[in-house]
Amino acid sequence: MEIAHLCRMANQIGRFYAGQPDAAESRKAAATHLRRFWDPRMRRELVAHVEGGGAEDLDPFVREAVREHLEFLRPADTPAPASPAAGPR
């Protein structure tokens, strides 16, 4: 799926949850929605997009929600990127 379309959908979801009074809970609720209702392939693309630094097309609320809950959103079959500080193994 095209990343621009995923970002538009994520922003729509984020706008719904951003209006809740508790910011931390609303970011968690948005991430939970993405995990429950998005196909793992869609989540994988969104997480990779955010980790790759291309998240300027996401609303700040969504960007923060995804960054805060990366491991929760990352599909189980997707390894976390290697830390540059870790060096080769």
Each residue's pLDDT expressed in tens, for the chain with a length of 89 residues: 899 999 999 999 999 999 999 999 999 999 999 999 999 999 999 999 999 998 899 999 999 999 999 999 999 987 777 655 544 43
H-assigned helices in the chain: 3-18, 23-37, 40-51, 60-68, 70-73
Residue 83 has what DSSP assignment?
Answer: P
Question: What is the per-residue pLDDT for 89?
Answer: 39
Whether the full predicted model's pTM is greater than 0.95, yes or no, is: no
Question: What is the per-residue pLDDT for 82?
Answer: 64
Structure tokens, 85: 């500080």
Question: What is the per-residue pLDDT for 83?
Answer: 56
Q: What is the Cα–Cα distance from 77 to 89, expressed in whole angstroms?
A: 21
